[in-house]
Homo-oligomer: A and B are copies of this chain.
């Protein structure tokens, strides 16, 4: 039995300071003879959840690669296809470097969309799996048809192959805008997800009334197949573009069907109206999207920074509003990933982040160095000084 007592910190959601006991990797009660770590005056969060990234594409940890695509989606797709071999993408070393950085910032769980296409096959899936195993970090992969399903023959078979190989989720991509046949695209990927009991996570950049209508198609299929709680729409720019009444109608439809949203609040693209969809009962998760890759040079791996972007683009100023962005980067992501035993309650897995702030809002706004990161009860990152800090039994 190993016991650690985090003493004097304030867990998120508690009324004030409350010690957190960790025993055998879980949050527990009734300490016997714990090692004590003094975190007085600090704030305790459940580990961060990166719910939407593209690990397989990353160039993280290598030299600066100037962005070489033109400013069109077709240009970015073509540039990606033409340069990934030259740059050694996917790279287990780059992915592992990024995962280590994510973990040092307090991320314990990751959902990553991995490119699947006839050229790259399942090499991306294998590279991400290998890196995750190397680092010892759980990564839930979405087999992602980045270059289309119907428009890229052979991809559908690869999605099924990925599922057979154990991938937990499959993706979709702009069923109308990219794949040109939204009904058939969605019918195919929903059928696959249903057959294999997989999660479904669909990229939807299609905007305005087109994207809004596709959200309805997705909700209809989720209800019809009883897949509520297992389907996520990523980006969903359309939700940030239609008028308020339309947003409300769509939010109700999504909540009723059990379709979640994942947002990254990237660049100047529309952000789904966070408070409005949460009020309707929609689960919302948060992620980086690309991190230092051929699609764009930005991204640090720090989910507190990502939550800041989400709060900032949502024009949230009040503490309780800013905290909603952090909920997306923690509890919302955990729900989308289907994590059991997530949180700060007794019995939960001891995946914790300690930060030198007084509130969730301050954590998001200031993104301070992490004082302590604990995964499954093990300290994986620590700034606690020898003297005032960790006392090992």
Q: Which residues of A contact B (CB under 8 A)?
A: 63-64, 66-69, 71, 266-269, 271, 296-298, 300, 308, 312-315, 317-319, 322, 357-359, 361-362, 365-366
Contact B297 A63 (CB under 8 A): no
Across the two chains, which residue of chain B brings its CB closest to A300? B366
Contact B312 A298 (CB under 8 A): yes
Across the two chains, which residue of chain B brings its CB closest to A268? B313
Also in contact, A64 and B357, with CB within 8 A (given A312-B298, A317-B296, A322-B297)? yes
A248 to B357: give the CA distance in the assembly, Å.
46
Across the two chains, which residue of chain B brings its CB closest to A67? B317
A361 to B296: give the CA distance in the assembly, Å.
12
A366 to B318: give the CA distance in the assembly, Å.
28
Also in contact, A315 and B268, with CB within 8 A (given A297-B322, A322-B297)? yes
Chain A binding site: helix, strand, loop or mixed by DSSP? loop
Residues of B within 8 A of A318 (CB): 66-68
A9 to B71: give the CA distance in the assembly, Å.
32
Contact A66 B315 (CB under 8 A): no
A358 to B365: give the CA distance in the assembly, Å.
28
For this chain, the copies found in one complex come to 2
A-B contact pairs, 12 of them (CB 8 A): A64-B357, A64-B362, A66-B318, A67-B317, A67-B318, A68-B318, A71-B315, A267-B312, A268-B271, A298-B308, A298-B312, A298-B365
Contact A361 B297 (CB under 8 A): yes
Contact B312 A359 (CB under 8 A): no
Contact A361 B66 (CB under 8 A): yes
Instruction: Given contacts A268-B271, A298-B365, list 20 more A-B pairs with CB under 8 A.
Output: A64-B357, A64-B358, A64-B361, A64-B362, A66-B318, A66-B359, A67-B317, A67-B318, A67-B319, A68-B318, A69-B317, A267-B312, A267-B313, A268-B312, A268-B313, A269-B315, A297-B317, A297-B322, A298-B312, A300-B366
Across the two chains, which residue of chain B brings its CB closest to A270? B268
A318 to B271: give the CA distance in the assembly, Å.
23
Contact B359 A319 (CB under 8 A): no
Across the two chains, which residue of chain B brings its CB closest to A359? B64
Contact B357 A267 (CB under 8 A): no
Residues of B within 8 A of A266 (CB): 312
A319 to B65: give the CA distance in the assembly, Å.
9
Residues of B within 8 A of A317 (CB): 67, 69, 71, 296-297
A362 to B292: give the CA distance in the assembly, Å.
11
Residues of B within 8 A of A314 (CB): 268
A209 to B168: give the CA distance in the assembly, Å.
51
Across the two chains, which residue of chain B brings its CB closest to A295? B317
A272 to B365: give the CA distance in the assembly, Å.
25
Across the two chains, which residue of chain B brings its CB closest to A314? B268
